[in-house]
Amino acid sequence: MQASDDFRRLRRSFRAFAFPVTVAFCSWYLLYVLLAVYARDFMGTEVVGNVNLGFVFGVLQFATTFLIAWAYSRYARARIDPAAASVRERMDGVATAPAGKAAAAGDAR
């Protein structure tokens, strides 16, 4: 099944979202940490009252996490779930078919 085109498309769809978003979020987090360590004056800049940029950036880390989860759920619903259903149906068909039909189904791939 791993060699099938459906499975390859499924894996490619997942990676098309997961890898770039992971790199972007890790970069954003690393920027936050580096600013907190090396740009203390900048991060200590007060925005409103006692709320400084460090606190705002920290809260934005949580907001980014929720935004990514929401975006992934939409992406998965549109692209990954249909491909996964197709792979699952093929696997169920191969697993439940009699031995002769399973071999024929495997030859059709």
Q: Can you list the positions of beta strands (E) in the chain? A: 46-48, 51-52
Q: 10 Å Cβ neighbour count for 10? A: 21
DSSP assignment of 5-20 equals HHHHHHHHHHHHHHHH
CA-wise closest residue to 58 among 82, 35, 41: 35
Do the beta carbons of residue 83 and residue 9 sit within 8 Å?
A: yes
pLDDT tens for each residue of the chain, 109 residues long: 777 788 888 899 999 999 999 999 999 999 999 999 999 999 999 999 999 999 999 999 999 999 999 999 999 999 999 888 888 888 877 666 565 555 555 555 4
